Structure 1
Amino acid sequence: MMRQNARECTGTHFERHHLYLSDLKEKPNIKNVYLRKNNIPAYPESVEFRVQKVSHVTGQQGLRGIFLDSGFRQPLELVASDQRHFLWWDLSVTSDDISSAEERFLTSLFPRRSAAQIRNQPPVLNQFTSSKAFQKESSYGNFCFTFSLKDLLRHYGKQFCAGQGLALHVYETVLYKKEIQYTVVVHPRSVNIYDHYPRLPFNGDGVCGYNNGAMWWRCQSPAETYENQLDVNIFDKSVSVIPHHKEYYVWDHVCVAFHMEPGWVLHIDQDKLFERVNVCEMSEPPLLRGSDTKLSLHEAESILAELKGSSEAGGWR
């Protein structure tokens, strides 16, 4: 089904499914020139990342609202819409996450490498993880809040689940022009509108799942522009990178959508909010809300310092 999201980006939605890239390619009615390309150079496919942190990025208007509310709520302009109400978070992949994912990938290729082969293998995965899923920049604003997913689930469960616990479900796959978005929905067990959505797996097959405080994600395409090719040497049990002419492609990522009723605020202590927020550069295209504008790092740092000063002076208490 084709429809627009809250930021007026049109995509094809597949509810109740997390579809692999190969599944999407087999859909006969999808018209996507990037998805149909067959000249993409070899790259590390289905690399499993285990990510413990998530991030929420906003503009100046959203930043001030978060500190005013001491937490996160659905933007007021969306509350009146007929869409379901979500608080959106992206996986926040660290350099350590990439290194660990590379080690699992290499071990799956060569289960019996010698100590010398392991020692002599230079890093390669970081030459392919160039999509927005791995960048510090964001299209959504200059202010990035980063939390442990486990802690965020704990806060949400304590505030909204009334002792009944929460649930995680496979919500949908959305295919945009150059982007595949896998959405996981989090909701109180007492909210039954997601009962017909599959439970998010703990392990086994699937694009992503949650286990032991981390979201595991089998990345289908880590770059939106491929300028390198993966070369696998089965005799030396090693991999290397060969330069390749530029090829544009689709990239994929995982979003965690927390179900929010109108008026709900996911409260977080303000000291913790200041600990978890940083400024970031904005990437193209800008997807800001309302009257927000793109800021320089200096402007964003000044605004954040001003808010912190107001808080310390008691202006936000």
Structure 2
Amino acid sequence: MKRRNNRGVTETYFEGQHLSLSDLKKEKPNIQNGYLYKNNIPAYPESVEFHVQKVSHVTGEEGLRGIFLNSGFRQPPELVASDQHHFLWWDLSVTSDDRSSAEERFLTSLFPHRSAAQICKLSPILEHFTTSKAFQKESSYGNFRFTFSFRQLLWLYGKQFCGGQSPVLRVFETVLYRREILYKILVHPHDIHLYDHYPRLPGQEDGVCGYHDGALWWCCQAPSETYKLKLEVNKFNCSVRVNTHREEYYVWDHVCVAFHMEPGWVLHVDQNKLLKSVNACEISQPCLLRAPETPLSLNEAEHVLANLKASMV
């Protein structure tokens, strides 16, 4: 199905499903997307399993000041007024430790008979391929990133909006853009029944993404937007090598989490925790800041954040 989102971009979406890259390719000719069906992409690490404990919310300067003014997170007033959606959005925040653990799992899957010590001696490869926006420090959505553990965020949400119970996690949507695959996870209170028709999010590693033991797991299928390298695997001598390749453009995939928010709800966070959780970042292209927000340079953003923190001491 197709629709235009609140930024005026046409997207293809599948409700209640997290469709893998191979599943999406089977939708041809229902999906008109040239990048999705390219068959000349060089070999790369496919189906790499990340276990991510942190999520991040990025905003502009006005959003930053509003978060501290409200002591927490809420929908922007203009979106509440237009009734466009009822969600607070967070992205996975993949750390270097997350990547190292994912690499070890990936190499172990390639060479299951090698010991952990032998696996550790192999040349790092993921750092060459995890180059999409899912792994970048920059963001299209603003200069200020708030980062929390997902477990802590669920606890705060459950305490404030779920009567102390754990919230419900569901498979929300797969959304396909020109060169981007987005998997949406939904979080909501038990007494909100708008989403009862969506399946529960998997706990164990069965599918594209899920939640287990405090971590969001994600089977990343397309870690780069542009491929200039190829992965060579030698099963005979149990080695891996990265070589150069002609540049090829492709789709990339990532995961975001949507917390259901009623109009007027504020997900309150202690001011000290807010201060510790925020940092400045550069704007990446395309810039998706909503007016009247304007992009800042990294130096300008750091200056704004330093002044804000100094005013709160």
Which interval holds the TM-score relative to the shorter structure? over 0.9
Distance 2:213 2:74 in 1: 27
Q: Sort the Cα spacing of 1:114 and 1:309 in 2 relative to 1 into closer, same or farther, 3 A.
A: closer
Report the TM-score when normalising by structure 2: 0.97
Q: Sort the Cα spacing of 1:2 and 1:115 in 2 relative to 1 into closer, same or farther, 3 A.
A: closer
- Secondary structure at the counterpart of residue 80 of structure 1: helix
Aligned partners of 1:55 and 1:89 also within 8 Å: yes
Aligned partners of 1:227 and 1:245 also within 8 Å: yes
User: Counterparts of 1:147-296 in structure 2 under 5 Å?
Assistant: 147-296=148-297
Aligned partners of 1:63 and 1:143 also within 8 Å: yes
Equivalence for 1:118: 119
Equivalence for 2:25: 25
Q: What is the CA-CA distance between 1:3 and the residue it aligns to? A: 1.4
Equivalence for 1:5: 5
Aligned partners of 1:117 and 1:237 also within 8 Å: no
Equivalence for 2:16: 16
Distance 2:120 2:142 in 1: 41
Post-superposition Cα deviations, 1:249-276, rounded to whole Å, max 9, x if no partner, equal 0000000000000000000011110100
Equivalence for 1:130: 131
Distance 2:185 2:161 in 1: 18
Aligned partners of 1:6 and 1:78 also within 8 Å: no
Q: What is the CA-CA distance between 1:114 and the residue it aligns to? A: 4.4
Tell me which amino acid in the other structure corresponds to 1:134. F
Tell me which amino acid in the other structure corresponds to 1:36. Y
Q: Sort the Cα spacing of 1:67 and 1:117 in 2 relative to 1 into closer, same or farther, 3 A.
A: same
Distance 1:109 1:62 in 2: 45
RMSD of Structure 2 on Structure 1 (CA) = 1.1
Aligned partners of 2:44 and 2:129 also within 8 Å: yes
Q: Sort the Cα spacing of 1:187 and 1:231 in 2 relative to 1 into closer, same or farther, 3 A.
A: same
Aligned partners of 2:104 and 2:120 also within 8 Å: no
- Secondary structure at the counterpart of residue 49 of structure 1: strand
Post-superposition Cα deviations, 1:224-254, rounded to whole Å, max 9, x if no partner, equal 1011111010011121111111100000000
Tell me which amino acid in the other structure corresponds to 1:10. T
Report the TM-score when normalising by structure 1: 0.96
Distance 2:117 2:83 in 1: 59
Post-superposition Cα deviations, 1:37-61, rounded to whole Å, max 9, x if no partner, equal 1100011111100000000000001
- Secondary structure at the counterpart of residue 140 of structure 2: coil
Structure 1 gap ranges (5+): 313-317
Distance 1:163 1:86 in 2: 20
Aligned partners of 2:108 and 2:119 also within 8 Å: no
User: Counterparts of 1:11-90 in structure 2 under 5 Å?
Assistant: 11-27=11-27, 28-90=29-91
Paired residues in the alignment total: 312
Q: Sort the Cα spacing of 1:114 and 1:184 in 2 relative to 1 into closer, same or farther, 3 A.
A: closer
- Displacement over 6 Å in runs of 4+: none
- Give the stretch that moved more between structures: 272-281 or 8-17: 8-17
Post-superposition Cα deviations, 1:280-306, rounded to whole Å, max 9, x if no partner, equal 011000000121111011111111112
Distance 1:116 1:259 in 2: 45
Q: What is the CA-CA distance between 1:119 and the residue it aligns to? A: 4.4
Query: Percent identical across equivalent pairs?
Result: 70
- Give the stretch that moved more between structures: 116-125 or 243-252: 116-125
Aligned partners of 2:159 and 2:165 also within 8 Å: no
